[in-house]
Amino acid sequence: DKFKDGLSKTRDSFVGAMNDLMKDYRTVDEDFFEELEDILISADVGVHTVMDLIEQLKDEARLRNIKDAKDIQPVISEKLAEMLQKSANEAAINEQPGELTVILFVGVNGVGKTTSIGKLAHQYKEEGKKVVMAAGDTFRAGAIEQLEKWGERVGVDVVKQQAGSDPAAVMYDAIQSARSKKADVLLCDTAGRLQNKVNLMNELSKVKRVLGREIPDAPHEVLLVLDATTGQNAMSQAKAFQEATDVTGIVLTKLDGTAKGGIVLAIRYELDIPVKLVGLGEGMNDLQPFDATQYVHGLFA
Ligand code: GDP
């Protein structure tokens, strides 16, 4: 079970704290809820999310006449799952069956963008789909080569130009190449230099314009890649990218590397963007579609 393995650090600290809480408190009273609040906040769940959750739990405890602390645990799982998934199937990638699906990846350097693109390319290939990758980060030294390495590793063609060239021109080439190969999926890397937000915003909108001119609905997804180990930094990156472009989903990487996996809730609930994929390890198969039930199960089970 990938979620259970990937969330083991979070589960160890979360379940440990919850067990202590249950030992200390037999009844659900104000103090119980206050301590629960602290546990959730220290797991990076996010202050607003925690406050809403605690309110809902208090209401439920009253409605269902729950007095025993042990009986509140299933209600916590239930509420967490509800808050994580606002609609069924929201984690699905918007694929265009029989046509070219274009997915744009955005995110700052080091978050795991190239790795996630490579892993997803591998998975689509395993499903029998034809994949092309576009080396749209023409700015960072080594970015093109890194994507090419993934291309070799998973057996997928990479469309590139030389370093410093116009990313929009790379995208134009990539669309032509994907079309001539009758590809199913085009995965596009982009630059992640958030230090100059106006520049990045212009670059991303030009890239999107070029893609949209060639294929009316493209890009079909704009996936923002965030590193789960960076906590509040990930939250502020998300806000900045939301201002720069229309983000349609989140890829949350390195969940396996943090004990604060509650960040998934903060992202989903406070930013109102669905988490579509999660990185649960460094291997090619360690990128998984997000599943709220499995996630919550991974926290407690
Ligand atoms: P980029 O600069 O955003 O393209 O980042 P990279 O794709 O180069 O990834 C940076 C590092 O994070 C690499 O060492 C990856 O192996 C590692 N990484 C990416 N995703 C995950 C993940 O889900 N779990 C773990 N443990 N490491 C990851």
Q: Distance from the CA of 227 to the center of ligand 1, in angstroms?
A: 8
Q: Distance from the CA of 72 to the center of ligand 1, in angstroms?
A: 37
What pLDDT is attached to residue 230?
Answer: 94
What pLDDT is attached to residue 34?
Answer: 95
Nearest CA to ligand 1 atom 23: 279
Instruction: Indicate the annotated binding residues.
Output: 107-114, 189-193, 253-256
- DSSP 3-state assignment of 188? strand
Q: Distance from the CA of 61 to the center of ligand 1, in angstroms?
A: 42
Mode of pairing for the β-strands spanning 287-289 and 221-227: unpaired
What pLDDT is attached to residue 18?
Answer: 87
> Ligand 1: which residues within 6 Å by Cβ?
107, 109-115, 253-254, 256-257, 279-282, 286
Q: Distance from the CA of 229 to the center of ligand 1, in angstroms?
A: 11
What pLDDT is attached to residue 127?
Answer: 96
Distance from CA of residue 218 to its chain's centroid? 20
What pLDDT is attached to residue 100?
Answer: 98
Name the residue type at position 80.
L
pLDDT tens readout for residues 17-37: 988 898 888 889 999 999 999
Distance CA 264, CA 186 (A): 27
What pLDDT is attached to residue 86?
Answer: 78
- DSSP 3-state assignment of 196? coil
pLDDT tens readout for residues 221-265: 999 999 999 998 999 999 999 988 999 999 999 999 999 999 999
Which atom of ligand 1 is the closest one to the Cα of 117?
7
Instruction: Indicate the annotated binding residues for GTP.
Output: 107-114, 189-193, 253-256
pTM of the model: 0.94
Which tokens belong to 270?
Answer: 């406070």
All residue ranges of the chain with pLDDT < 50 are none
Distance CA 25, CA 69 (A): 7
Mode of pairing for the β-strands spanning 287-289 and 157-159: unpaired
